[in-house]
Amino acid sequence: MKNLVRKSVYMFMCMALITGCSATRNANNKQKGAVIGASGGAVIGGIIGNNVGKKGNTALGAIIGAVVGGVAGGYIGDRMDRQAERIEEEIPGAEVTRVGEGINVTFNEEAGVYFDTSKSNVKGTSATTLDKLAGIFKEYPNSDVLIEGHTDSAGPDDYNMKLSQQRAESVTNYLISKGIEANRFSTKWYGENQPKADNETTEGKAKNRRVELAIIASKDLKEEAVEKTKG
């Protein structure tokens, strides 16, 4: 996979809490999920998830905070691997990051989802990109999606907060209009408060005007994972 970034967040947890974890250094996401589960992954994941969120990436915090862990976590991780690969294949411009049992996807002006100045409606290339994403969500119905809106620092804080809300909701509503169940989505917005790049440059501002997704296992998938991995 050319662009897919594989984050070793579980490795950090393992190093902090499990002795002898050097044996997992070359493990894939599925294997890391199983290792962490041995030490109560759901509780630990929630703690680390909250810390990640406080540092300015609530999407990653949501993913890690939803961890199941154990063999069931490995089962979920395997399915997330496949879904991440499909997103990368269909939307090569997207920044796709596999984290533990979830997927973080960032769309900005370079990745096919963008908006006209001060606008929030989905159109053109953005619509084409989201059509592809909707198709993948239909292929993988047992995942829930957090959609976050972000802006650059141009304009007043309250204006940017409202604009980020409108854009996050616009993307959410567009995907729902394509046949994805509304109860799979949650939507948040942060204005200019979570920049990924330097707002002092034109390039940095373009990267900060983004929509970010956290894809996690649904309740049904978690129950399936536990059932399938019993014993």
User: Domains (ranges, CATH) in the chain?
Assistant: 5-228 (3.30.1330.60)
Length of the chain as a residue count: 231
pTM over 0.85: no
**Distance in angstroms (rounded) separating the CA atoms of residues 198 and 192:** 11
Q: What kind and span of H or E run contains 98?
A: strand 95-99
Token representation of residue 93: 């411009």
**Distance in angstroms (rounded) separating the CA atoms of residues 77 and 71:** 10
Going from the C-alpha of 63 to that of each of 59, 70, 124, 190, 215, the distances in angstroms are: 6, 16, 30, 17, 7
**Distance in angstroms (rounded) separating the CA atoms of residues 118 and 97:** 28
Nearest in space to 171 (alpha carbons), one of 107, 221, 96, 222:
107
pLDDT tens per residue, the chain (231 residues)? 544 554 434 433 433 333 333 333 334 554 444 443 433 344 334 434 444 444 467 888 899 888 999 999 999 999 999 999 999 999 988 999 999 999 999 998 877 888 887 888 898 889 999 999 999 999 999 999 999 999 999 999 999 999 999 999 999 999 999 999 999 999 999 999 999 899 999 989 988 889 999 999 999 999 999 999 987
**Distance in angstroms (rounded) separating the CA atoms of residues 36 and 13:** 7
